[in-house]
Structure 1
């Protein structure tokens, strides 16, 4: 899929524009484009969707009301022979171009596409940097225009992505809603439900040969989330939020609404549009798009339980609804109940440990307090310390109204072992103060570090070194006396032996004590999060003691265009060579659909989210579902890295379990644009030599002194790493 869009997070702290300001031509405007493809006169085999037309009519009324005050609402809906308002492919293109031409900086733009989705043969793409196609399954997702027929009049995802990119580049803040399937079926859904999707013959064939990858593949547009994207802080750049009605493997229905209404075309609605309209009619205060996504999940759960579809949003979700202000709320966790047991929708990956105290709120009002008694990777058992008053509890229609936030954290079991290393007689004004500060940090419950001992196999060391000492003891070249942070391998430097590539060292100028303390605190926290992630991988990995069921794996498969994908076997680490092009794939043998997050992790502290989404259950254990994550070319580098896939069963959690928030910069990097002063890696995607944890993570160790009270919760962490040390052969 062509990755066309980069989400730019605005940092302007302004309030919503008032209606009198919006009326001025020199001020931002609110504009809407509402498209409903409900009738298909050239394709009698395509089922009509009267609900799409109703969706657009209701949203036109809502947006034009005083509550939202959209003065410019353009609609293309239904089918009237000869009308220029029919949502044909040409009219849709013209409407988008007009919207682009008249939109400007800080305009609020709302777009609704209601109708059928489909997959069609992909058009030839510009080859990527590896000379590889960016459409691994050879299919484009598309929105079906009303003049769809034998000539397949559709609006492709790449085309929509290009239009959205143009709007964003003009400074507009865009919210686009797709109330359609990413792929679907011509068969009628159960009972009153009608799926909003078609499956072309090409898509049927593609689905037989290549399982879909729905990670950042929205089915209509691709979103590339890059917090360091150039232009992030450019106030002339706009932003984008995209809301989707279903995951790629799901269909989204059209049905009679409200519940109990007469079954007629006038009462047909798209499920997403119906619930979204309700929420927009009742929203109050400063509501972010993330708040809206959470509220949607709540309404779906109340109506459908854990049955699909699962709507989701991507983009600038912390921006206020039709506003410019960004509100980053504290991370909140949901609460559920199974019989007499309360479960928290969060676990160790979210920072919860046994004894963690959380405040429980309803509509931003504190109603009680809970404590975690059993903790899993993504779910925990809690008990009420201060239960809600009876009058409050009796008025709760659903636990889905409740959110929990961590307020007290006990001592963490995976602290980083750090020691002060005396290696030089060169005293500096800050050396003794820094040594004392580290000793103090090691004693604090809230700190990320503990004192390193001789038995700490993977301890880190902090020292003061002159240029000569740094060169002689560690093989490090520095210009002035500096503070060094070194892993155990760097401390064991042997000048007679070649570098192993696993040495990690960070250099801090020894001039400003406060800055050194701030930077070391940040780096200790990064190492702590890294250590926690990999020790959890040891517990929940393929050979881990806490894994209740196996079946998830990250695999490397060679790229061989002349070979059938079914004939290509996963590579062993001994088969890997520099210059080799491989596909990174995630496989699922389990009988459950899983949420997944794939992270690229390096031993210099970097945690980079690669993909997140859902992977369908396997039809048979012998035929796993396989998703292609990305393609890479192996290059020889120094340092360790691995792909880590964290998976959580979908049936346990309606809202996607996305662990992308674990992203962090490498140690030694403390501002955007700064390079890491380490010897661990040159930034390439190559790493150590293990498909299990083994010796991969030189900075981590599983503590035997702290007993980990972690429960089995159906989650699994899969790890795949590799090692390439030989030079890359010249390319022909």
Structure 2
């Protein structure tokens, strides 16, 4: 679990009361200032003020006092933030929350690192930890720092909460770099970090199987709530505290907590992404460039904060480079060549200042020309006004199924925003990129990659193959909406992978990143799919030769259309500044053999823009199965009358 940072934003701390729309909201606030077991100079002052500031913000946003658990030392009537108390407070939520509820978690205090377990795949060989008040010393016997709250333990508890169906927003304000420096204001800055050596850590690795005191929990992917994680900085950066304005004068506070709560006080009707953009803009206005906050959550980042039932507009950063306008959004966001976007001076502005027409759309970024108004700010924000029509993926039924499937498809194509702009459905006798066939408990996908259809469906006895493997999704009809869900899940997964691969091949060679790829020591290119077998060794290296920073994301799409983000690793930003490089290597396993494709997404950006997050595109692979022609009996289908309300 990621920790770190804080930033400086001098604004008046005025909160607007707002009634939350989630079924019920719960919060656990942790502020650890005092560390009696450590040397006196390692204690902090700011976390207790962070905790009070966050509590006041939550109360002003409508959270009921009885739903807020405050664990902070130096705060009257608050529970002491020991390891046991922190774990118990979070685990108690699993008994209180229900599907649709909202949980806010906030941690301020020292962070540190301990050696990763032997066999860990962490690139830096270190696990991240949060230090409760009763933190102990390193124990080589059990392979951990006693009473530390590890990222693995945090993951278990978060999974338990999410499995109730509740949505979670976790904010971490601690770090892992022990320095003392001076801020731009001349005030003393204290790093919220304790170096591992001060905790007695000497070894680089630990020969233990697990160090968590909590039993592993599997995420219920069908019913789990979403997780939003805000971290002050990357795993190797610092999180300072300094004296900042409050109702009681200047007090030591964490920069990240201060900025986050101040922006929410200014405008509570933000999305998580807009809040993240505001935090980055605040850092840049200082300027404060020592840290790069991380904001994770995939598609959920575009939801309103606190799960409110209000509409928020998706806005993307715009920067001017010479006479060109660069937008941190592209084909994946519906910005094709010819699309028109509105430009706003800030992420929350109501009046547009200009219009831009997209002239060069790439996978996750685009360029445009000014067609109306003027842009005076160095950094502005764009919002899609009128999309252009992309080249769609054509899909058809290989053989028309029962009417209930046709009704479900008709409704899906009307309601799905993704499929509206990415799919064209054609008749069964027309050529198509993909065709679907409904069999007993399986929905088959025949694509252009499958050279021959099953003989049972082919019109030619010689142009068919019964040994071919085809992609398929299992289904089980349990109610009138299950067919809709089967189609929505299967087609959306297929479309995401196919479009990602097609866009990648279209943009091959046009990125600002130099790429080196080797398969079993032999150089290969990314302008066509890579044919890999079980046990093959893959190496990929990158270097940024541009003058500006770029956000780099690398996906691996396997032959089952599984999408895996291989760079950056969780907890790290993929931002590469001029001359910086990155590399990774791995071995192909048996479940991903066949036509594989690396998708390299390089997005020109600026220091003040939030890091690009595309992890929501990941998905599990489909099954690869032989064809069995078995139709469901009509009487089993006839009892289902399809309807779906949204």
| TM-score normalised according to structure 2 size | 0.65
Pick one of 88, 107, 115 that aligns with 2:109: 115
Q: Return closer, same or farther for 1:527/1:56 CA change in 2, 3 Å cut-off.
A: closer
Q: What residue number does 1:690 align with?
A: none
Q: How far has the Cα of 1:123 moved from its partner?
A: 5.6
For the residues of structure 2 that align with 1:168 and 1:521, how far apart are their CA atoms?
23
How far is the alpha carbon of 1:250 from its aligned partner?
2.6
Separation in structure 2 between the aligned mates of residue 156 and residue 294 of structure 1, nearest angstrom: 29
For 1:556 and 1:190, the matched residues in 2 are separated by: 49
1:385 aligns with 2:371: yes
How much does 1:619 deviate? 12
2:344 counterpart of 1:344: no
Map of 2:36 onto structure 1: 41
Matched residue, 1:166? 160
What is the alpha-carbon distance in structure 2 between the residues aligned to residue 650 and residue 207 of structure 1? 39
Q: 1:556 to 1:150 in 2, by over 3 A?
A: farther
Q: Structure 2 matches for 1:261-300, cutoff 5 A?
A: 266-285=250-269, 287-300=270-283
Whether 1:250 and 2:240 are equivalent positions in the alignment is no
SS of 2:281's partner is: helix
Alignment correspondent of 2:293: 310
Contact 2:559 2:592 in 1 (8 A): no
SS at match of 2:305: coil
Check conservation: 1:448, 1:525, Cα contact below 8 A. Answer: no
Question: 2:222 corresponds to which residue?
Answer: 230
Going from structure 1 to structure 2, the CA distance change for 1:447 and 1:29 (only over 3 Å counts) comes to closer
- Displacement of 1:113: 0.8
Partner residue in 1 for 2:555 = 599
Aligned twin of 2:610 = 655
Assess, with a 3 A threshold, how the Cα gap between structure 1 residues 553 and 679 changes in structure 2: closer, same or farther.
Answer: farther
Whether the 8 Å CA contact 1:462–1:483 is kept in 2: the answer is: no
The one-character-per-residue Cα deviations of 1:5-28 (angstroms, maximum 9, x if unpaired) are xxxxxxxxxxx9969x99xxxxx6
The residue that corresponds to 2:48 in the other structure is: 53
SS at match of 1:373: strand
More deviation, 145-154/632-641:
632-641
**Match of residue 614 from structure 1:** 573
Gap change, CA 1:653 and 1:208, over 3 Å in 2: farther
Contact map agreement 2:102 2:168 (CA 8 A) in 1:
yes
* 8 Å Cα contact 1:178-1:244 kept in structure 2: yes
> Relative to 1, partners in 2 of residues 1:91 and 1:193: Cα closer, same or farther, differing over 3 Å?
same
Per the alignment, residue 156 of structure 1 pairs with: 150
**Does residue 175 of the first structure (1) align with residue 169 of the second (2)?**
yes
Within-5 A mapping of 1:143-222 = 143-151=130-138, 152=145, 153-170=147-164, 172-181=166-175, 183-188=176-181, 192-201=188-197
Secondary structure (helix, strand or coil) at the match of 1:110 reads strand
After TM superposition, the structure 1 = structure 2 runs for residues 408-557 of structure 1, keeping only pairs within 5 Å, are: 408-409=387-388, 412=391, 460=432, 486-487=447-448, 490-491=451-452, 533-534=500-501, 536-538=503-505, 541=508, 544=509, 546-551=510-515
Q: Does 1:89 align with 2:72?
A: no
- The alignment partner of 2:50 has SS state of helix
- Indicate how the Cα distance of structure 1 residues 678 and 371 shifts in structure 2: closer, same or farther if over 3 A, else same: farther
The CA deviation at 1:118 is 1.1
CA shift, 1:519, in A, is 11
1:409, distance to aligned residue in structure 2 (A): 0.6
Conserved? CA contact 1:117–1:197, under 8 Å: yes
Deviations 1:666-691 (A, max 9, x none): 8xx9xxxxx788879xxxxxxxxxxx
Q: Residues of 1 paired with 2:497 and 2:273: CA distance?
A: 27
Q: 1:265 to 1:625 in 2, by over 3 A?
A: farther
Contact 1:589 1:618 in 2 (8 A): no
Provide the C-alpha distance between the structure 2 equivalents of 1:225 and 1:345, rounded to a whole number of angstroms: 34
Counterparts of 1:577 and 1:86 in 2: how far apart (Å)? 55
Structure 1 residues 604 and 138, CA, compared in 2 at 3 Å: closer, same or farther? closer
Structure 1 position 116, deviation (Å): 1.5
Counterpart CA distance in 1 for 2:161 and 2:402 is 55
1:27-78 CA-to-partner distances (Å, cap 9, x unmatched) read x654433222223233227633322222112223333347544334333334
Which position in structure 2 is the counterpart of 1:718? none
Q: Does the CA-based 8 Å contact 2:283-2:608 persist in structure 1?
A: no
In 1, Cα distance between the equivalents of 2:579 and 2:343? Answer: 41
Query: 1:254, 1:269 within 8 Å by CA — same for their partners in 2?
Result: yes
Structure 1: how far apart are the matches of 2:327 and 2:94?
44
Q: Which position in structure 1 is the counterpart of 2:359?
A: 373
8 Å CA contact retained: 1:460, 1:488: no
Per-residue deviation at 1:254?
Answer: 1.7
Q: Check if 1:76 corresponds to 2:71.
A: yes
Q: Hey, what's the Cα distance between the residues in 1 that align with 2:101 and 2:131?
A: 28
CA gap 1:679/1:203 in 2 versus in 1, 3 angstroms: farther
* Conserved? CA contact 2:117–2:205, under 8 Å: no
Q: Write the deviation string for residues 139-161 of structure 1: whole angstroms up to 9, x where unpaired.
A: 32110123335454421122223
SS at match of 1:250: coil
Going from structure 1 to structure 2, the CA distance change for 1:197 and 1:294 (only over 3 Å counts) comes to same
Partners of 1:497 and 1:609 in 2: how far apart? 36
The alignment partner of 1:71 has SS state of helix
Name stretches of at least 5 consecutive residues in structure 2 with no aligned partner. 3-16, 139-144, 207-213, 404-419, 455-460, 474-482, 522-528, 629-646
**Preserved contact between residue 554 and residue 587 of structure 1 (Cα < 8 Å):** no
- Aligned mates of 1:53, 1:79 — CA distance in 2: 7
2:337 maps to which residue?
Answer: 354
Change (3 A) 1:197 1:626: farther
After superposition, the CA RMSD in angstroms is: 5.9
Distance in 2, matches of 1:30 and 1:428, equals 45
Q: Determine the C-alpha separation between the residues in 2 that align with 1:249 and 1:229.
A: 31
1:231 Cα deviation from its structure 2 partner: 2.5
CA separation of 1:180 and 1:503: change in aligned 2, threshold 3 A: same
1:194-222 deviation digits (Å, cap 9, x = unpaired) = 33223424999999999xxxxxxxxxx9x
